[in-house]
Amino acid sequence: MTKRTSSITIRDIAREADVSVATVSRYLNQNAFVSPDLSVRIQEVMDQLDYIPQATARHLAMRKKNTVGLLVPNMYNNFFAALLAGIEGVVSKYDYSLLVATCRMNQSGGYQFPLGSHNTDGLLIFADSLSDKQISQLYDRQLPIVLIHKSSTDGVDIPTVTIENKTATRKLIKHLIEDHGRRRILLVRGSENQEDAYWREVGFKEALSEHDIAFDEGLAIRGSFEREIAYNSLKEFLADPNHQEFDAVFTGDDDAAVGIYDALRENGLRIPEEVSVVGFDDSQIAPFLTPPLTTVMAPTEEVGRSAAEQLFRLLDGNIPVPVTLHSTEIVLRSSCGCNMHHSAS
């Protein structure tokens, strides 16, 4: 990556993008409309020159702000409430403020950094909120960063805090097969670019393989860790008269499970008598669903606390733990067919 030199100004950006300085200024400051086409053009030039908005106020960037930031892809579901609670507890302990912004890695149009050294002393980045290139840009400017539910990429040394996904999923699917005789298990895939989704699918496939069940791509639908997407995907799947028969659903996460419950009920399918349903996260809603949801307990609040503590280690000039991996455990309720509520590690 080419280092940005201090000689680059917004005039250079304007000249290379063939727009006015005023247009670049509006794009950077977000104080007036800039068309999507021009936004993309300006951002491409900024990327080529390795220039980000806060560089125009470098003298401000050197000042301590007593603020840390959190970037998340959305705030749609219950998962983020627990994560935020863990982070906020640590941030308050250090007498800092927390800025939260939403940003999807794969959004269309020009990209702007809502959080960075221009308004924070350090940054927590959740999963697929930023691309690897964007993370590297922030890292190159020596902004303290901790990744949550995402591994550090090649060439950068950024601490990460995550959970064990694969083993817990494998045990959960094994439970469905061995204890409830389920063999036609529908996979509700998580977010395309998230490591959690990848490793949960690996665990799912390993459990099938261990029981000589071939993975069937016809028994996989999109869920993206969101209840509405999961609901619509299953409704569409069930509307196809030629759809594959199934006797269980692994929803990928608890929020998607809510959508799956609704879609199954609307199609007259009883849980768990006809279809077992299991989730992941053990969110606050899981025990209150009807029937209560069998899931995997992920210590989301603790992940938030750990990530924030690692960030403050960086801010204090200490060496952080490179990888913090939190354990998970199965929580058996009645949605799988069990009549008990206990955990199985």
pLDDT, tens digit, for every residue of 18-59? 998 888 887 877 667 778 788 888 888 887 887 766 544 444
Inside any domain, residue 189: yes
For residue 27, what are the domain limits? Answer: 1-51
Domain assignment present for 38: yes
Residue 219 belongs to some domain of the structure? yes
Residue whose structure tokens are 């053990």 = 282
Side chain identity, residue 151:
S
Assess if residue 95 is contained within a domain. no
**Nearest-CA neighbor of 306 among 165, 197, 164, 162?**
162
Does residue 149 sit within a domain? no
Residue 182's pLDDT is 98
Nearest to 12 by CA among 51, 60, 58: 51
Same domain (yes/no): 31, 178 = no
Residue 63 included in any domain: no
If asked whether residues 170 and 42 sit together in one domain, one would say no
Among residues 308, 286, 282, 284, which one has the least CA distance to residue 296?
Answer: 282
Residue 94 lies in a domain: no
Are residue 189 and residue 334 in the same domain, yes or no?
yes
Last residue of a domain, one of 16, 33, 51: 51
How far apart, in whole angstroms, are the C-alpha atoms of residue 253 and residue 150?
Answer: 17
Amino acid identity of residue 210, one-letter, is E
Domain CATH number, residue 218: 3.40.50.2300
Nearest to 119 by CA among 99, 139, 148: 99
Judge if 41 and 170 occupy the same domain.
Answer: no
For residues 333 and 276, is the Cβ–Cβ distance under 8 A? no
| Coil vs helix vs strand at 295 | strand
Kindly state whether residue 223 falls inside one of the protein's structural domains: yes
CATH code, 33:
1.10.260.40
What is the per-residue pLDDT for 166?
A: 97
Amino acid at 260: I
User: What pLDDT digit, counting tens, does each position of 13-29 carry?
Assistant: 889 999 988 888 878 77
- Token pair of 238, please? 């069930």
* Two structure tokens written together for 327: 């354990």
Same domain, yes or no, for 171 and 33?
A: no
Same domain for 46 and 173, yes or no, is no
Other Cβ atoms closer than 10 A to 114: 16
Q: Report if pTM > 0.85.
A: no
Same domain flag for 43 and 183: no
- Tens-of-pLDDT digits for all 345 residues of the chain? 344 445 678 888 889 999 988 888 878 776 677 787 888 888 888 878 877 665 444 444 456 789 999 999 888 777 899 999 999 999 999 999 999 988 765 444 445 667 877 788 999 999 988 888 888 888 887 889 999 999 988 778 899 999 999 999 999 999 999 999 999 999 999 988 899 999 999 999 999 999 999 999 999 999 999 999 999 999 999 999 999 999 999 999 999 999 999 999 999 999 999 999 999 999 999 999 999 999 999 999 999 999 999 999 999 999 999 999 999 999 999 999 998 544 554
Q: Based on the structure, what is the number of domains in the chain? A: 2
